[in-house]
């Protein structure tokens, strides 16, 4: 028994010295603090803003999230890939040049399709606020470049700190605004302000050296070479990210169209609350796991499968308890915390919890797909699963009601993620086998 405790102690000590573990902890703690702030404010905000207000915010956000990957054509995610500092800076320049071209195009689209977009987002009364979409795209591109640069430079604490501060300030603004003039428009404006704060806080916390010499982000030097070398991100990662965002945003837009903004607000709150563990652990592990997996597999192909299996096992253990509790008692827990007006959100949460568990479990697999050269597979998967999600949502709405639609949508997601996990594990096993033979 003593020897067992000694081994556990030695293992814990070794883990505490691990750079990977420290990086995951830094990102996780920052994300946890930001999510904790949002969740602490939530019971107050849901009593100030009704489901309609959150429905307008969620529909606007869904639309922006669908377009945002187009702003940088997916190149921002490639900043961690180049081996040289100049190569990474060129990718940053390329990302911002793309954003400078896409934002005016978005402005034109808003001008010509303002009425249709207003209906989809529930902003018929104030359609001019749709002109904030190009502003949000530009800020999102800057923040994406800054975040990916911080990941490349290993500045995880600075990234986490900026996220915490900006989240706190934004939620204080929501609370103050909710007391004075609660509306969906205010939530939309504050969400955009939050991006600007996050970007500003991050730049204030990082040393202006290396790839973080911001003045070098602007220009056109080296962008052709960067576009050619990282073309997989534009050809595969960007389309699959857009399709993925569309498939997740579609329920909000379709629920708004079919059942009204109140229903989409109930759905949005459920996904927001249950998405907190995803942000806490899933995103944190992905951001650290991606560069580590890239480096490890480049050096030793045989390590691909063991690395991925360990990460997946850990994510599975972490997903069981929180999502299991919500799947069983969500209809009691959610309205008791948020208020009686949010009963439907609790019923939605019981189905969404199963879906979110599958998202968390497959995060390491999705993060490893780039280095396993499965970008094309991921794109095909996103096309297929998006079609399946739309069919499931409409089928559920046709045979039942909004709850049936959300349940069908969630179950299709679970099946899709488990299928994707099997594909990636199979590919990693093949790479490891080839590595051992080499």
Neighbours of 223 (CB within 10 A): 19
Average pLDDT over every residue of 384-388: 87
Its pTM stands at: 0.73
> How far is CA 338 from each of CA 45, 91, 348, 350, 383, rounded to the nearest angstrom?
9, 43, 14, 15, 36
Residue whose structure tokens are 């192909």: 301
CB 190 within 8 A of CB 177: yes
At 339-350, the pLDDT tens digits run: 888 999 999 999
Please give the structure tokens belonging to residue 195: 């991006």
Q: Which residue has the higher pLDDT, 19 or 386?
A: 386
Query: What pLDDT, on the 0 to 100 scale, is given for residue 430?
Result: 82
Average pLDDT over every residue of 168-174: 93
At 349-373, the pLDDT tens digits run: 999 999 999 988 888 888 778 777 7
At 135-162, the pLDDT tens digits run: 999 999 999 888 888 888 878 788 888 8
Q: For the chain, how many residues are written? A: 438
Average pLDDT over every residue of 151-178: 88
| pLDDT reading at 6 higher than 60 | no
**Which of 121-130, 252-261, 380-389 is least confident?**
121-130
d(CA 318, CA 380): 29
| Cβ density class 81-98: b for 16+ within 10 Å, e for less | bbeeeebbbbbbbbbbbb
At 258-276, the pLDDT tens digits run: 888 889 899 989 988 888 7
pLDDT, mean over the chain: 82
> How far is CA 377 from each of CA 114, 237, 257, 390, 427, rounded to the nearest angstrom?
35, 10, 32, 20, 11
Query: What pLDDT, on the 0 to 100 scale, is given for residue 119?
Result: 76
| pLDDT reading at 409 higher than 90 | yes
Average pLDDT over every residue of 391-409: 91
Query: What pLDDT, on the 0 to 100 scale, is given for residue 298?
Result: 65
At 297-330, the pLDDT tens digits run: 666 667 677 777 887 887 888 888 889 999 999 9
């Amino acid at each position: 028994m003593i020897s067992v405790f000694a081994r556990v102690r030695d293992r814990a000590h070794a883990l505490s010295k691990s750079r990977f573990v420290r990086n995951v902890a830094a990102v996780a703690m920052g994300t946890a603090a930001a999510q904790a702030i949002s969740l602490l404010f939530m019971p107050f905000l849901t009593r100030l803003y009704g489901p309609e207000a959150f429905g307008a915010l969620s529909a606007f956000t869904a639309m922006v999230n669908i377009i945002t990957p187009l702003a940088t054509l997916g190149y921002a995610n490639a900043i961690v890939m180049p081996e040289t500092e100049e190569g990474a800076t060129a990718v940053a320049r390329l990302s911002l040049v793309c954003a400078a071209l896409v934002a005016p195009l978005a402005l034109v689209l808003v001008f010509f399709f303002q009425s249709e977009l207003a209906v989809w987002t529930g902003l018929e009364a104030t359609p001019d606020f749709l002109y904030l979409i190009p502003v949000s795209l530009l800020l999102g591109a800057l923040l994406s470049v800054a975040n990916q640069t911080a990941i490349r430079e290993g500045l995880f604490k600075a990234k986490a700190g900026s996220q915490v501060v900006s989240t706190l300030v934004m939620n204080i603004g929501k609370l103050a605004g909710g007391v004075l003039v609660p509306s969906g428009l205010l939530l939309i404006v504050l969400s955009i302000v939050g991006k600007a704060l996050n970007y500003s806080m991050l730049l204030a916390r990082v040393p202006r050296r290396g790839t973080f010499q911001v003045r070098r982000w602007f220009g056109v030097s080296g962008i052709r070479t960067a576009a050619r070398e990282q073309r997989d991100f534009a050809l595969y990662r960007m389309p699959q990210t857009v399709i993925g965002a569309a498939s997740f945003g579609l329920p909000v837009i379709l629920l708004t169209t079919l059942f009204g903004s109140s229903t989409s607000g109930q759905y949005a709150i459920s996904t927001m609350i249950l998405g907190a563990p995803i942000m806490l652990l899933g995103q944190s592990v992905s951001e650290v796991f991606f560069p580590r997996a890239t480096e490890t597999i480049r050096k030793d192909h045989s390590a691909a499968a063991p690395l991925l299996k360990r990460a997946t096992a850990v994510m599975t253990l972490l997903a069981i308890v929180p999502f299991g509790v919500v799947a069983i008692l969500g209809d009691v827990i959610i309205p008791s915390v948020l208020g009686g007006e949010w009963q439907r959100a609790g019923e939605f949460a019981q189905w969404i919890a199963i879906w979110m568990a599958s998202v968390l479990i497959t995060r390491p697999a999705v993060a490893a797909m780039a280095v396993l050269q499965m970008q094309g597979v991921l794109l095909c998967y996103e096309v297929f699963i998006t079609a399946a999600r739309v069919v499931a949502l409409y089928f559920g709405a046709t045979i039942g009601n909004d709850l049936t639609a959300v349940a069908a949508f969630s179950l299709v997601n679970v099946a899709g993620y488990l299928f994707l996990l099997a594909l990636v594990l199979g590919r990693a096993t093949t790479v490891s086998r080839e590595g051992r033979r080499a």
